Amino acid sequence: MSTLDGKQRARAIEAMRQFLAAPVDAEGMTPFRRSRVEDERRVKVIETDMAPLLASYLSGQADLPEFKSKADGINKRNELWGFKGIKGQMFFNMLVNAADEPDECDQELKAAIAVPANDAMASSRIKTFLGYVSRVGEQWVESGHSKHGRPKPGSIPFFLSYFWQVQDRNIWPVYYTNSVNTMLDMNLWQPSGDLAADYITFKAINEELASLFSTESGEAFSLYDVEHVFWFIGGNPYEAAKSAGETEEVTPSVSGAKSVEVLPDQRLPESYVPPVVAVLPRMASGDAETNEAAKRSGTTIERAFEKYISSAFTVLGYETKLMGQGQGRVPDGLALCTDESYAILWDAKVRSNGYSMGTDDRTIREYITTQSREMKRRRHFRNIYYAIISSRFADDYDDSVSGIKMETDVNEVVLVEAEALVAMVDAKLRAPSQVPLGPDGLQRLFAHSRVLTADAVRELLM
């Protein structure tokens, strides 16, 4: 029995054709070929590392702490599933930390992650595990702990399906947030909110598409291949707005945001991201058309970039303050999270060829020192992060980042690609309750010095 109607099947086929027809990259590989190479790595990691570890745990040879620790290590060394994100390893850590009875947690976990024999058993295991996780979370809060530290029930379909897929990759697709969102954007499916029922429907759609794509393309499509089609179509949240209006006319408003006229031959926008945020990657690279739009709006692209970044942080839920021009040696803006006692000092850098650390280091250190000490003294923030937001970054930043961390009060220095900020907003607007500002959400993105890409954001928040 088909889960999709004729129009939905046609849309899915078109997405598959776009995936197969995509041009080669700098290494001469198409997305389809590259995905097959990545899948070969997945299978090798499963067969040599994850499957033996899982079997050892389920048989009682490895205890729960050993299993959790080794699973974390394997997934950090092999970033092929996104398990180190909020719905994977973080959920795992929260569950074990919050559980009052370690033995009960061990038994519930083993019963849940063992591969089901059929859909009915899978549904039953999700429901049973949901009851246990909900009870653990309630007890955690009742005992006086912060609600932010309790395991989130919404993570269960991803968490369980990851382990089921390790045991039988041809039957159990991983319940990726990106895949669900892409199905929504393509109008293939509307989840009901029932975690068990939604996973079974998700599985059925993946199975149907694997068969449909195989027939239409002449290639043998696996569940992995279907997943890659969804990643190809939905991987860049701001691209949907661009593709929906390739011929749109940019009409600057008072604020400088563009208004989009939907023409008869265009598709409706699918992205959740508002235009004032979606335009950030083009601004960051000094895009000529965006530069001209800024001039027609009576501002510079640099100042508009600062304002729109501040808007993005506001959408995310931060208390924001735009500083920058005319205020002396200060960062361009602040994003404050009082409830979680942390602040982000940020600077905006418009660069067509990417930003290189080093030229501004002395000035940066001076105003970081002043601002961070002031915030710790007056606002009592425990953690201060410094972020530079630009189009991309040169790879010679290690010494500069180390110097800033050693000579100032900031905890971490994060180089944020503009696309990554767009991805944060997209994730937040799609599922606000699943993307909090605290350590189980956005704070984790800033708690590690690195170049933060859109892919890293999606991996953590998937």
pLDDT in single tens digits along all 462 residues of the chain: 678 999 999 999 999 999 999 999 888 899 999 999 999 999 999 999 999 999 999 999 999 999 999 999 999 999 888 898 889 999 999 999 999 999 999 999 999 999 999 999 999 999 999 999 999 999 999 999 888 788 999 999 999 999 999 999 999 999 998 899 889 888 899 899 899 999 999 999 999 999 999 999 999 999 999 999 998 887 643 333 333 333 333 323 323 333 333 334 445 556 688 888 999 999 999 988 998 988 888 889 999 999 999 999 999 999 999 886 555 567 889 999 998 999 999 999 999 989 988 767 778 888 888 887 777 777 778 899 999 999 999 877 888 899 899 888 899 999 999 999 999 999 899 888 888 999 888 999 999 999 999 988 888 876
pLDDT score for 140 = 93
In the chain, list all ranges with CATH 3.40.91.30: 280-461
> Which residues touch 143 (CB under 8 Å, ≥6 apart)?
none
Q: Which CATH number fits domain 280-461: 3.40.50.261, 3.30.565.10, 3.40.91.30, 3.40.50.300?
A: 3.40.91.30
pLDDT score for 462 = 67
Question: What does residue 348 show for φ and ψ, rounded to 5 degrees?
Answer: -105, 130
Q: How confident is the model over 195-217, as pLDDT tens digits?
A: 999 999 999 999 999 999 999 99
pLDDT score for 455 = 86
Q: How confident is the model over 72-112, as pLDDT tens digits?
A: 999 999 988 889 888 999 999 999 999 999 999 999 999 99
Query: CA 173, CA 119: separation in Å to the nearest integer?
Result: 12
